[in-house]
Structure 1
């Protein structure tokens, strides 16, 4: 089939399914969370039991610092539990003769999965037991995604409510409802579809077979389908097998590939409808959706063009840009997956990003450096874009000489300061982490590409380090494969970036929600900047591009841009 036609059909299928599910799923999520306890469905029996066991009053409300304290405490407990589970897995059932995980890898992995990053500096088949995968990593895939949606919903309530007490909801209720009512049923559905396509689901450790060269081969087995479903739906990305979604046991067919792409885009896209429904103006959600769509389609167009191009007869005869890509997916399926996974903080891969062209690899790197808002992670994409919308409204207010307002709430110094600080966290982590790493002589040995300054190898080595810190700080988890990150420096530095990259913005966003909820609502006037329609979508898209361009252009010029120009 013609590559252009194949790309068009796959894109049309993905967009068509998302359009079909956009309204029902978006409205359902708005109903699940509600703006207050009186406007949400009754608790399920299992929810009531959980609340009683945990001594939680589902009718009570929390201020932003109570909400943030509960979230941080829950996440800290998750890191501790997952760390201990990895360390003692050798004496637990379903261990598969695997020993306990080393302290540095256990720390990095615990932080990684609790922060929804799923950065993996280990080989899953030979490191993690089935029990650790199911009870530890898979559970965190559910709850870390639910945490992201909870923060987004809390911020929406800050715009919708007017409360002198500053209550923005109940974290425990939002966490429970997100896990049981949204992520669990959707995961069951996606897992069944993947099973029908041949994704494996087994508690056996593996089976032996004979390779093409006649040698004996041991093929790993695992409960893959259940992990694969929530890994994509929750924008987590950690594979239960080392080859991730390029492995035929995780992603065997072009149909399963499309299903996984839809799964990782589904909730972030539909949350814009949830936002519009909860604020009582669905055009607001459509404006955010338009920005996400513009950025996603632009990145996809550049990546497809870069990966489809060949230079010379010899390159064309050798398959050109098929290096690092699975034949069953081809260039269109690989590019579509790469742009979607780096745009949603998922990090799952069905191809080797390190083998992409300089322009293609630089584009997926830039996709993360935009803040992963196109459409972003589960929950994190929405609240990240709302923070940038506040910045855009502030800039628009300066242009027209009026106090900025968004959704009926005036934006004062406190709100703009919190939004600006939230935006600055990720760039600071990426640039500081990258700069320290490249000047440390002890780290060059871990780069698959290193050499004299200015050489192609050194430039690509810099790109690998920049990609790693961009991935960790954005809670993405994908990587350029030429970089070995098993040293104590990388395990610690990337772990710190994952922690601060996840929780500092969350705390700032919750503080923003707490400051907004105490503000009175004001009626729009003739001088109010419209926040729906093409003009605002263009302003917000320009703000996103401008922030990323001004912040990261020097770093990109030293890496992917320099490599592409060579």
Structure 2
């Protein structure tokens, strides 16, 4: 083991240690924020009324729809606003729809290059503002789901408007302000024309990921040093990891939270280890060209293989989409692990809020399957999981993957979809399509850059630009379905469980805070992912990995 490899493994170990140290204090703080009664200001301005799951879901959907219309309108009238030094006009209608769906749904998929398409006003008043709001919606819904799972009486999950306000005012905004100040000390730029430091803070903490610049965090102005890269990767998974402790405190069993965190951390550590090992060796193309050593194609020398692998694992498990290297330049195995991380369905940390309710849905599926194997009625936290809850769980865990496979098949089987593929054929072209729709469906936003939905022949600027309508519309619909179908299903499960009588544990009760159940949960995650996506993976990234050798 050479010194470079030792340093790389040490960097990964340090990341895990710092993340684990922050889980308890931040998780406890978030629990206190949402557990306290409404303040006088909240009572006067928001007039909170308790909402059942249907009312809560309706508020979240209506708010998101209004945000999407507002963002679309702003993007279509970009030329009317100030802070447009390069006098950019608006992009096409289809790419504007895709972009509005992307950032309101907290996905951050970008068919455009920020610095050649959007004005500073559109970047901040449009993209950044709705990135904050989308992250706030996710965190609010996660807290509502926790309340439903733990409630001993009543059907109310809280008030969406109060939860959204608290998520923004007490969690997301304060942390991003601190992060932006730290980024400024590292050399990330901040000006009227390039407000990048403030954007980098929300794009990472808020599970947003979209880049101010086209090359995202590989750009020195957006990610200036090894320390800023480490901190950005940490911010991506920080709140999703801390929410496991928030969950443990709010349900009255911290062991439950540690069990969830242990599963997430184990899967994350395994993914970053495999990506690092894969990228530390040459690809078949390099070997065929007589180039030996690590795979540095598409990677910044400032970050190296370990820093790029760590960031890639964080962004694909944390549902962010920010990147500090070119994902399409990864080896077949490295790219396979990245797309597999997303295909698990936001359960390895996941997005801010969505990761927690995503893994809770998978926990209930695991409880149900384990109950079938031993012939017992499934229970979680003392509450019986019935037919209604399981139907909703299946919609939330299996429905989106099925939709992804259908839309991917349509994309690669028709001329409309093939127009977006840069690689004309073979495993790489198929991998581009699979990666694109998995990324969009699971609210990630990272991409194999070859897959496109917008062309700018006269860039910078949007004069003469045209969108690839199939990719723009299919991607926008995929992002909306991938965001809101699991959200509504999770709220439905929480509403069904709210107020349900809790049974005391007995001799046959399946403990969900034990290492045994953690192993069962990992098995269910792997089983669902493998049964759903293995055929698609074998035709794309796995085929590339097997063309020469695994490492």
TM over 0.5: yes
Equivalent positions of 1:358-437 (< 5 A) are 358-437=332-411
3-state DSSP of counterpart to 1:321: coil
1:310 & 1:120 partners in 2: Cα distance? 29
**What's the counterpart of residue 27 of structure 2?**
26
Which residue is 1:210 aligned to?
none
Gaps of 5+ in 1: 35-39, 205-221, 452-457
User: How many angstroms apart in 1 are the aligned matches of 2:137 and 2:525?
Assistant: 24
Deviation (angstroms), 1:310: 2.7
Q: Secondary structure at the match of 2:202?
A: helix
Deviation at 1:252, TM superposition (A): 0.9
1:461 aligned to 2:429? yes
Residue 16 of structure 2 corresponds to residue 15 of structure 1: yes
**2:465 counterpart of 1:485:** no
Distance in 2 (CA, whole Å) between partners of 1:447 and 1:8 is: 35
Aligned to 1:153: 143
Greater mean alpha carbon deviation, residues 309-318 or residues 516-525: 309-318
Contact 2:395 2:485 in 1 (8 A): no
Write out per-residue CA displacement over residues 395-428 of structure 1, whole angstroms, 9 at most, x where no aligned residue.
1111221111101111111111111111112211
Query: How many angstroms does 1:313 deviate by?
Result: 7.3
Q: Which residue of 2 aligns with 1:117?
A: 107
The equivalent position to 1:538 in structure 2, one of 519, 527, 548, is: 519
Task: Give me the whole-angstrom Cα distance separating, in 2, the residues matched to 1:224 and 1:246.
Answer: 13
* 1:525-562 superposed Cα distances (whole Å, 9 cap, x missing partner): 11110111210100101000011011111111111112
Q: Identify the residue that residue 219 of structure 1 maps to in structure 2.
A: none
Q: How much does 1:305 deviate?
A: 1.0
Distance 2:470 2:8 in 1: 41
Corresponding position: 1:528 with 2:500: no
Q: Check conservation: 1:429, 1:469, Cα contact below 8 A.
A: no
User: What is the DSSP-based 3-state SS (H/G/I as helix, E as strand, rest coil) of the residue aligned with 1:479?
Assistant: coil
8 Å contact 1:32–1:41 — kept in the other structure?
A: no
Match of 2:253 in 1: 281
Paired residue for 1:208? none
Partner Cα separation in structure 2 for residue 338 and residue 239 of structure 1: 15
Task: State yes or no: 1:255 paired with 2:227.
Answer: yes
Normalising by structure 2, we get a TM-score of 0.94
Take 2:474 and 2:27, find their aligned partners in 1: how far apart are those partners?
37
1:425–1:501 CA contact under 8 A, matched in 2: no
Displacement of 1:294 in angstroms is 1.3
Number of equivalences: 530
Please list the CA deviations of residues 71-98 of structure 1 after superposition, one character each: whole Å capped at 9, or x if unmatched: 0000000000001111112011112211
Quick one: structure 1 residues 461 and 113, their matched pair in 2 at CA, closer, same or farther if it must change by over 3 Å?
same
Candidates 168, 172, 178, aligned match of 1:189: 178
Deviation at residue 446 of structure 1 after TM alignment: 2.7
Question: C-alpha distance in 2, partners of 1:44/1:449?
Answer: 59
Q: Does 1:346 align with 2:327?
A: no
The question of 1:43 aligning with 2:39 is answered yes
| 2:536 corresponds to | 555
Deviations 1:330-362 (A, max 9, x none): 000000000110111100010000010011111
1:81 aligns with 2:95: no
Query: Matched residue of 2:74: which SS?
Result: helix
Task: Using the TM superposition, give the Cα deviation of residue 316 of structure 1 relative to its aligned residue in structure 2, in angstroms.
Answer: 7.6
Q: How does 1:511-526 map to 2 (within 5 A)?
A: 511-526=492-507
Partners of 1:445 and 1:71 in 2: CA distance:
35
In 2, Cα distance between equivalents of 1:443 and 1:395: 37
Deviation at 1:19, TM superposition (A): 2.2
Give the equivalent residue in structure 2 for 1:5: 6
Q: d(CA) in 1 for partners of 2:419 and 2:73?
A: 31
Moved more, 512-521 or 193-202: 512-521
1:205-254 Cα shifts (integer Å, max 9, x gaps): xxxxxxxxxxxxxxxxx100001001100111011111101000000110
Structure 2 SS opposite 1:120: coil
**So what's the TM-score if we normalise by structure 1?**
0.91
1:504 matched to 2:488? The reply is no
- The aligned counterpart of 1:66 is 55
Distance 1:183 1:44 in 2: 22
Runs of 4+ aligned structure 1 residues displaced above 2 Å come to: 41-45, 310-320, 441-446
How far the C-alpha of 1:101 sits from its partner, in A, is 2.5
Partner of 1:323: 297
Q: Distance in 2 between matches of 1:184 and 1:156?
A: 22
